[in-house]
A and B are shown apart, each in its own frame.
Chain A
Amino acid sequence: MSWEPKIVAFVCNWCTYAGADLAGVTRTQYRPNVRLIRVPCTGRVDPLFIIKAFEQGADGVLISGCHPGDCHYISGNLHAKRRWIFFKGLTDFVGIEPERIQYAWVSASEANKWAKMVDQATETIRGLGPFTKYHALKGTGTAANGGACPLLVWSEAWQPGIPDEVPLPEDAPFVPALREKARELLEKGEVKVVIGYGWAKRQRRIVPVFITEPGDVSRLVFNPLCVNNLSVYLPRKQGDIAKLGKPAIVAKGCDIKTITVLLQEEQIGRDGIVILGVSCSGVIYRQELWAGKAAPDLLAPKCIGCDVQTPRLADHVVGEPVARSVEQQGPSEVQRQIEALDRKSPGERWDFWAEHFDRCIKCYACSQVCPLCYCDRCITEKNNPQWVETSAHPQGNFSWNLVRAIHLAGRCTYCGECDRVCPANIPLNLINRKLAVVSEEAFDYRSGYDEKAHPPMVVYHPDDKENFIR
């Protein structure tokens, strides 16, 4: 039997389903390759549905609903469109051929449009051939083959902390002022804990510290090793910290961008925290790389092009305003890599990502370290149904990385923590940055700058682009 493309179509109950029904009633002939799944509204189509369809063997996916303005629920399709813009940016970037996922508006009366679209989609996807790339990922790969090593490829330095012979960085000049402010807040009882940076007890490295006694403020430091984004400790998920009481947090300008999103999304209240903003002229990406000075090539990717050296939104700012240094001028290496990937063919992009995702060990460190992954129960923990398979085989790894990225689309402030901590060195910065670019281009929105703004995924605009929708 010759191969026939399998296409899963998610159609809205009110328009496209009725349109397809009309096609049936009027005996309009079209290819039998689509499997219809009726949903109340295109707004109901979670990107996970599409991923799941591919996992289960679909060669293409069609999503179709009411024309803008016709939505039974007023704006469901317009919200859906925003989601699609992000999702399309993502699927294109990881090398899924754009023709495999088709978006359309088909009304209840457009039986002919529906029939024509199915015919065309079937032929296009037939031309692409079976989507074995996705199906075949299962059961391949190193971790899946039992007894093989998942081949971890970690950061260059495999030593935590800084060798004894390398001099440690000096404290920033404002550290005494920072300690004084922390002491004052604790003594007055304004806060119960100060979340900041300090030296580890045994190793020469900077770790998060939680100061609850005014006498301990001398543990607080700030220097170019303070790369961690401490705002991860603010959401409720961190029960141990929440139990301590109202926190003050030592935050760089970039960390405050994340705090901004947490405020936007009402995960924390502005009155519930005190922000101790610190001026920053760049931190190094991995502490182990410190070799006596903050050389430009050691700077965290987020520092390149940084425009928040002097923190905004803070209750107290310590340190003098700083200007962007020469090292921090763009374009960044990340930007260059994204552009290089964009120039490649979908197949090459796919191979690039498949190779990286193959190494994923599903430790979920990327989501645990992400301040914006604050859900009590992550989608990975939902097993009824099992949305993301727990096995570390490449297919599940691919799906997980798509899900993680789309859940952060338009929200991620590019703090780079997920990329920094990934034990398998998957270049997550590329994906996050790419989606930030999509957000800027499509919605003129940059995450983390305005705590009053609505994130792009929760609002819509009638003029949002739809040149990719049939």
Chain B
Amino acid sequence: MKLLTRQHLDRWVEAMLAEKVRVVGPVTRAGQPVYAPVDRASALDFSQVIGRNSIKDFLFPQTEPVMLYTIKKSSVEMKDVGGAGQWPDTVLLGSRACDAAGIAALRSVFVWQGEDDPLFLDRYERTTVVTLACARGDRSCFCTSVGLAPDATEGSDLLLRETVAGNFAVEPVTDKGEKLVARWASHFEEGSESFRPVVPPPVIETSDVEKILAWLSDPSHYQDAVWAEHAAKCLGCGACTYVCPTCHCFDLTDEGGAFQGERRKNWDACQFDHFAAHASGHNPRSLQSQRWRNRFMCKFHFYPTKFSAKGCVGCGRCIRVCYVGLDIAEMMEKVSGLAEANPRHQPSAIS
């Protein structure tokens, strides 16, 4: 077993920074736990439960240009700014298992059916995800209820576990993880120490993602009263989507003056009422409960069936940010209960 001692961790981070590797990890800003790039090892704070922002910010930023254009009389010149090679090598150090699984989910969307998003993929290829198994969770965590665990490896390249001696046991998950260890081999040593136990959040006994998927797959449940009942209080602010590790919706929009500008790729949210509205004014999802349904279905139906990935990783951020107290886990329990009562499972509506 490879070990990374506490002292070596700091030296390793400093070494990477010296080599212009971007190191992103848990830090405290204005008293708040966030994931952010660090400029020194001592800024890292692994004691926090989870960053307020999702680590997706570093693979799929909130706003980025994809192309610059210049209009000259009747001709147009474009400059591709989404090309490869402009992003630094990045190590996401101290990601949580849920956030890492979120990266896997995003990859399933952005690298799909041979059409690869170059902006995502370029960052992804230059990013190594080093996950630190959680020593504790909080009341909003529910990774165990979506098939993950505090030490799950989905989406991670390297898994670190704290040992009783205060060091980190290193478990490579992918080739990329192996390579990272090999590249910085001098900071890792052989050894064997027993792990500190991880503390998984309690499983929500009454919730079952398989049952939820089965129930959602039946189009007759699309207009079930449960949606309005649960989501009527939603005000449609979209904060949940902005902190969600798997929410991938975006907008492409032109910004600039009359002669030049840029086309930007910006986060968007299915919770906004104009999100799917047609130019004609027709809106396929005109009620907030329908838009909330779309988000829930995206997590537990579209993601697993379409992208073969986990749409919800149980990080609990959407529960933490919601100011009207909408609780996705509560809905998971409700739908599981409905599925129990009516387990009819049809294959996806159209094959």
Contacts and interface: CB of A to CB of B under 8 A. Distances in A.
A361 B62 CA distance: 8
A261 B36 CA distance: 42
B178 interface: no
A151 B29 CA distance: 8
B238 A149 contact: no
A363 B62 CA distance: 11
A150 B53 contact: yes
Max chain B C-beta neighbours (<10 A), residue from A163, A365, A391 = A391
A152 B52 contact: yes
Nearest to A163: B139
Interface residues of A, number: 55
Interface in A159-209: 159-161, 163, 200-203, 205-209
Interface stretch (B99-107, B166-174, B297-305, B316-324): B316-324
Interface in A224-276: 228, 232-233, 238-241, 243-244
Interface in B28-57: 29-37, 52-53, 57
B37 A148 contact: yes
A238 B268 CA distance: 21
A272 to B, nearest CB: 18
Contact of B329 (A202, A207, A243): A202
A343 interface: no
Given A56-B257, A207-B325, 13 more contacts: A147-B123, A151-B34, A151-B53, A159-B140, A200-B327, A203-B139, A238-B235, A238-B288, A239-B287, A240-B232, A386-B255, A390-B251, A423-B239
Interface in B154-173: none
A202 B255 contact: no
Given A160-B319, A207-B325, A143 B288 contact: no
Contacts, number: 164
Nearest to A391: B63
A467 B341 CA distance: 72
B48 to A, nearest CB: 9
A144 interface: yes
A56 B264 CA distance: 18
B255 A149 contact: no
Nearest to B235: A368
Interface string A122-145: 000000000000000000000110
A27 interface: no
Given A207-B233, A423-B242, A149 B139 contact: no
A159 B139 contact: yes
B321 A423 contact: yes
Interface in B220-270: 228, 231-233, 235-239, 242-243, 251, 253, 255, 257, 264, 266-269
Give chain A's interface secondary structure class.
loop
A141 to B, nearest CB: 9
10 contacts: A151-B53, A152-B32, A153-B31, A160-B325, A207-B326, A238-B235, A365-B238, A368-B236, A381-B273, A421-B323
A383 B267 CA distance: 16
Interface of A: 56, 143-144, 146-154, 156, 158-161, 163, 200-203, 205-210, 228, 232-233, 238-241, 243-244, 361, 363-365, 368-369, 377, 381, 383, 386, 389-393, 420-421, 423
B266 to A, nearest CB: 5
Nearest to B22: A147
B64 A146 contact: yes
A240 B231 contact: yes
Contacts of A232: 235
Given A151-B29, A361-B62, A364-B237, A207 B324 contact: yes
A158 B64 CA distance: 28
Contacts of B323: 228, 365, 369, 420-421
Closest CB pairs A-B (n = 9): A207-B325, A365-B237, A368-B237, A146-B64, A421-B323, A391-B63, A240-B232, A381-B274, A153-B30
A146 B272 CA distance: 23
A209 B325 CA distance: 10
Interface string B282-299: 000011110000000000
A156 B235 contact: no
B330 interface: yes
B32 A148 contact: no
Given A143-B62, A361-B242, A154 B327 contact: no
A235 to B, nearest CB: 11
Max chain B C-beta neighbours (<10 A), residue from A146, A148, A150, A369 = A146
B319 A151 contact: no
B58 interface: yes
Contact of B34 (A149, A201, A420): A149
Nearest to A161: B139
A238 B231 CA distance: 11
